[in-house]
Amino acid sequence: MTFITYIVFSKNLDRYYVGHTGEAVEERIRKHNSNHKGYTGPANDWVLVFQERFDSKEEAYAREREIKAWKSRKMIEQLFV
C-alpha cells in the first residue's frame, strides 16, 4: 500500500491545505470538495498542487507535520513552483 502526503489549493480561499492519505488522492480531494464541516469545508474548488508517495503511513504523516511546521506559504510554494 502507498501513502501520500499532498497539498491542495483553493483559489476561493487563497489557501493551501496539507494532508496525508492512504486512499486514492483523487478520492480524498473529492471529499475535501464535498460540503462538510472542517478546514476545507467552506470551499469546493480544492485542486491538487503537490504530492509525495511513501511506503508507510508514519512517513507520510511525518512529512505532513514537517511541511505544516514551516508555517510558510513561500516554502510550501517552493515545493511545486
Query: What are the structural domains of the chain?
Result: 3-78 (3.40.1440.10)
The model's pLDDT over 32-70, given as tens digits with 9 standing for 90+, comes to 999 899 999 999 999 999 999 999 999 999 999 999 999
Contact 5, 76 (CB under 8 A): no
Task: Write out the three cell numbers for 69.
Answer: 511546521
Q: pTM of the predicted model, to two decimals?
A: 0.95
State mean pLDDT over 66-78: 97
List Cβ neighbours of 32 (8 Å cut-off, separation of 6 or more): 8, 17, 40, 46
Instruction: Please state, for a pLDDT cut of 90, what percent of the chain lies above it.
Output: 96
* C-alpha span between 75 and 68 (Å, rounded): 10
Q: Which H or E run includes 61?
A: helix 57-70
* Mean pLDDT of the chain, nearest integer: 96
* C-alpha span between 12 and 21 (Å, rounded): 24
State mean pLDDT over 12-39: 96
Task: Write out the three cell numbers for 55.
Answer: 511506503
- What's the pLDDT score for residue 9? 98
- What's the pLDDT score for residue 16? 97
